[in-house]
Structure 1
Amino acid sequence: MRRAGTPRRRPLVAVAAILAGVAVPGGLAGAGQDTFIAPQSELFTNVTVIDGRGGPPRPSSSVLVWGGRIQDIGAQGSVAAPEGTVVVDLSGSYLMPGFIDAHASPRTTDELRALLAAGITGVRDGAISLAVFEERGRGGFGDDPVPAVYVGGPVLDAGSAPRGAALESEAAAVAEVARQAADGAGFVSIASTVPPSWLVGIARAARRAEVPLWADRRDGGWLLALRAGSDVAGPLVSGDAELLPETERGPFEALAEAGQVPAQIAWLERLEPQGPDVDRAVTALLSNDSALLPMLASASASLDCPAAAATCAPLSNDDQRALEAVWPRAEALVRTFHGHGVRLLVGSDAPRTTAWGEGFHSEMQLLVEAGISPLEVLGMATRNGAIELGQLHERGTIEIGKRADFIVLEANPAADIRNARRISFVVIDGDAWTFDGEGNWRRVRFN
């Protein structure tokens, strides 16, 4: 069992700044992309800090930034700033850590831009090879700022594996885990096609290599992977028969195989959100100190398919009504896991079923609608993501000594999660960025 937040070997392939396409508060002046800005210290004052650690917002606060790090935090007037520090008055604004999308697969600069515009400063890419992304990181993104991108090796896949590592045996899977770890992969992902009998061997190989194991088994079976030793499992509404009462598993699998009813509807109709089978899943997650990806936005995407989603297939009117009728069970299931203290992550699943950036905010909204407070959801979208990426020592919360990676909002997201979309500007490694609405990225100079 690992200790939450323990740093692990995960490559930070691309770290750059983020933009936001809304108004910048007074006291800021846009500087062109080619303008060199010498390092300076900035004192952000009169701002309400939401630090991501679970406590209430702290009004009338000051945050001192220098050298790309947070140097001090305190009540207004209590932070001593070095001579020459630029003071930035953020009255009426809210400062919080940048978001971390725990499950997305960006491929292009435009896709990364869309994530940045949504306030996402870090993203875990679950479906691309390290070599491909490193090649793009060396020049494929140009001079545009991009979020921190954390990558693993090709997904372990016993099927055709168009983007993964096609495997023919457990021994081959174990060898692939060792190879990916040696290549510096930040984590290993296992797909639904990997046979259950291989899971224990794969998990042992991951532990030997000290590389985290993520179970992306959207067609079910993540609970088996979890019992084998997966560090992260999901998606929650995946059609995993083991979460159903034993008497319902056979009928569900028959319906799902026949394809007469969408799998998520047939599964939710038979689910007991507070039943003993769900309780066993909770116990497994807590025993392993593992995290869970609900990905409600992905599961519900068929109700309102975004145009930018890659594989979302709209439901018929009858199926839409059926999914709406059983959706409260999905919400109750999330509340069960959350209520027992399971660590939840926010992942958009873009572009599979949700649009870039928008899917992440939809996921936060759905978690709030499920009965979790906005403040807790903000912690899932920041601190929890940093824990699972082994980056809590560097990012995910607003604390002295951590990277100056944060977003500044126009309104309080702890009062209304929709306010998390109202981004004024973003600071990464001490540099502030904004977007002028005409396709130009601009670094912001404080004066």
Structure 2
Amino acid sequence: MLARIGLRARWLAGLCGGLLLGQVPAHADGEYAILVAGTARGQMTVVNEGQTRRVNFSFVDRGRGPDVTSVVRTDANGLPLELSVKGVSYLKVPVDEQFRRQGELAVWTSSADRGSTPTPGFYMQHEMTSDVSTVLARALLSSKDRALPLLPSGRASIEKVLTRDIDTAAGKRKATLYLIEGVGFSPSPIWLDDSRELMFEGNVWLSGVRKGAEAAVPELLRAQDEALEKREIAQAQKLARRASGAVVFQNVSIYDANARQARRSQTVVVRGDRIEAVGANASVAIPAGAQVVDGRGKTLLPGLFDMHVHVSANSDGLMYLAAGITSVRDLANDMDSILARRKAFDSGKLPGPRIFLAGMVDGKGPLAGPTKLLVDTPEEARAVVEKLASNGYPQVKLYSSLKPELVPVIVEAAHAKGMRVSGHIPAGMNMEQAVRAGYDEVQHANFWMLNFMGPEINNKTNGMTRFLAVAEHGRELDLNSKPVADFIALLQQRHTSLDPTLTVIEDTVLGEPGHPPSSIAAMFNRLPPLIARASIASGTAKDADAREHQRESFVKLRQFFKKMYEANIPMVAGTDGMAGVALPRELEIYVEAGLTPSQALYLATLGAANVAGEGKRLGSIEAGKLADLVLVDGDPTVQIGDVRKATLVMKNGVQFRSEEMWQAAGVRPR
């Protein structure tokens, strides 16, 4: 459940101070491995004493990760009566969450909110652990209708799907798959044993599994994915609309990505999967029998690109299309899962964007990123490039714990196969060195500033330092200095592309307790209640003064972005954030930095298509190109926020109603 509830890498937890319910036996009733990209990176223990349950939970993810104990006392039906969670969150921020039912009144405080209600229900703690879904599942299975109201808001239900015998270190065990509705964008799978204790919960990114059952994880993942996909395929048939003849957008403004400007009173004809004609209303004939879409007051955009994503569920496909994002670039994922998902999206079996792939390669060690492609030697590095190339990957993404001496080895091997090389800057290097070693593109704008901070900082950028150093010292950088000018000249000379992801940096350094992150704020009230609440978490600033200090650094980073743009450095719009939701905020930041709305749109349309090598097929509204189109209310070339107002989306000429797609993912109507 948690891998679906939170933003990617946003698991929330705390470390108990022993304030609840006295002593608990020292032995563990359940011991679990916490897996990050299939590798054990943490653990969880569960101890029961009557109706009291103590959970110790921790994992390490690139220097981040929670360290947590929660204690919950439930009534006979499994509903929480008392809860305490304390300690540090995923970003190592102290947390202190309390819940208590006092007579008829439920009262809670957390880093997201505080409140009270007389309504009965299951309190969903904000600082999550892998055990929360277990406790919820047990309560749902004990309820009369297998459904319960959730506190602070929402409603959940549970359905039994199937039972499997799996091999564990203790012999054969039964594991039953349940789907919990109402906690995320799609049903949340959980496997319980005959005692209704957790066997497995999660996905390929992040999961918890009973120790001794690790070998069964691939089988359990496959079974739950198949169960979810059956539902999703049935749903897909209701969402996709295929016209029998031509489709005509009449009296519409269009965004001309080549000219980077709007053209008014236009007609666009689509036939099959292609754009057939584009021109002024009087110059384009409407084919007989065509479906005519009235575009008055609306703007037709090329299908948008998000060039920095991690597609973790089929429901992400719904959300990208709902937002008008018809193409994405996945920059790290489980190879088998993403290839299967891309095939399902491309065939129309499931609704989703076209996916361009980059395989993430990192070095071995405690701060390694969430990937199975870990290398320590030149031979291993070349073998990984060969594996990616043989599976059709056009790009290699290098990560933060890779040995610097392996960078030129991978660059040479990848370029020999016509592959691009991009990524983070490995600890021990700066960005200038990486570009000189052959990087074609760099992910994340924080590395621009880290380039000028010296080896004492750059030696530690495979952990939180890559955020903290920029937040603390970024404002000190002189953007008019000769070193900055020389750096920009190098990028021009090498034709290096940039993927700024300013939204994820803004969320991390400027997040405030009790407030939604900026990347989702405009959509916050439409999100499923638990998704919305779980997304609220403070950033790296310890107090208001530190946050203002970090705000100055972020303003300087925006100025750096504008300077890069004015130097004609190729840039693409990418988010590394919530599917479909974060891209408009990324474009808004570009406009706040000084770009016009039309310039910002270019980075998410033709500019992105060109960097992806697809500018001849995608990225602009021209006759002969694929019919990837987005009809929005208003005019994003004047007010960039109007890009959120998609009404109709086309991918390959297939139509999707934006609101239907959002609602299929559990998002409330606009």
State the SS of the aligned residue for 2:558: helix
Structure 1 residues 192 and 59: alpha-carbon distance in aligned structure 2, compared to 1, 3 A threshold: same
Aligned mates of 2:538, 2:265 — CA distance in 1: 44
Which aligned pairs between 1:391-410 and structure 2 lie closer than 5 A? Answer: 391-410=614-633
Q: Establish whether residue 193 from structure 1 lines up as the match of residue 401 from structure 2.
A: yes
Q: 1:213 aligns with which of 403, 421, 425?
A: 421
Give TM-score scaled by structure 1 length: 0.82
Q: Does 1:315 align with 2:541?
A: yes
Matched, 1:236 2:445: yes
**Other structure's SS at 1:188 match:** strand
Partner residue of 2:501 out of 295, 302, 317: 295
Separation (CA, whole Å) in 2 of partners of 1:385 and 1:264: 26
**CA apart distance, 1:176:** 1.6
State yes or no: 1:419 paired with 2:642.
Answer: yes
Stretch moving more, 188-197 or 401-410: 188-197
Corresponding pairs, count: 403
**Structure 1 residues 427 and 335, CA gap change in structure 2 (3 angstroms):** same
Deviations 1:176-200 (A, max 9, x none): 2122112211211100212222222
The SS at the match of 1:349 is coil
Q: CA separation in 2, counterparts of 1:161 and 1:255?
A: 14
In structure 1, the residue matched to 2:318 is: 113
The aligned counterpart of 1:132 is 337
Does the C-alpha gap of structure 1 residues 255 and 136 become closer, same or farther in structure 2, counting only changes over 3 Å? closer
Q: Corresponding residue for 1:227? A: 436
Cα distance in 2 for partners of 1:278, 1:83 equals 59
Contact 2:499 / 2:572 at 8 angstroms: preserved in 1?
yes
CA distance in 2 between counterparts of 1:373 and 1:139 reads: 37
What is residue 179 of structure 2 aligned with on the other side? none
1:369 Cα deviation after fit: 0.5
| 1:325 maps to 2:534 | no
For the residue of structure 2 that corresponds to 1:394, the secondary structure is coil
CA drift at 1:258:
11
Bigger proportion of residues as strand? 2
Runs of 4+ in 1 over 6 A off after TM superposition: 254-259
CA contact (8 A) 1:157 1:190 kept: no
Match of 2:327, SS state, is: strand
1:272-303 deviation line (CA, Å, top 9, x unaligned): 22322222332222222221011111111131
CA contact (8 A) 2:468 2:540 kept: no
Secondary structure class of the residue paired with 1:227: helix
Q: Does 1:148 align with 2:371?
A: no
* Identical positions, percent: 25
Deviation at 1:216, TM superposition (A): 2.9
How far off its partner does 1:221 sit?
3.4
Unaligned runs of 5+ in 1: 1-30, 442-447
What letter is aligned with 2:607?
Answer: N
Name the CA distance, whole Å, in 1 between partners of 2:369 and 2:459.
26
Aligned AA for 1:296? L
Structure 1 pair 396–35 and aligned structure 2 pair: CA distance change class (3 A) = closer
Q: Which moved more, 1:395-404 or 1:313-322?
A: 313-322
Q: CA 1:437–1:188 in structure 2 vs 1: closer, same or farther (change >3 Å)?
A: closer
The one-letter amino acid of 1:428's match is K
CA contact (8 A) 2:273 2:654 kept: yes
Could you say if the C-alpha distance between residues 183 and 138 of structure 1 is closer, same or farther in structure 2, counting changes exceeding 3 Å?
closer
- Do the aligned partners of 2:414 and 2:420 also contact (CA within 8 Å) in 1? yes
Q: Does 1:277 align with 2:500?
A: no
Structure 2 residue identity aligned to 1:168 = D
Name the counterpart of 1:346: 573
Larger Rg: 2
- Paired with 1:378 and 1:36, the residues of 2 have a C-alpha distance of 27
C-alpha distance in 1, partners of 2:319/2:303?
14
Structure with more contact order per residue of length (Cα contacts < 8 Å, sep ≥ 6)? 1
Unaligned runs of 5+ in 2: 1-235, 518-531, 666-670
Deviations 1:78-131 (A, max 9, x none): 013433333322111100112111101011022232222222111111111433
Residue 39 of structure 1 is matched in structure 2 by: 244
2:625 aligns to what SS in structure 1? Answer: coil
What residue in structure 1 maps to residue 601 of structure 2?
378
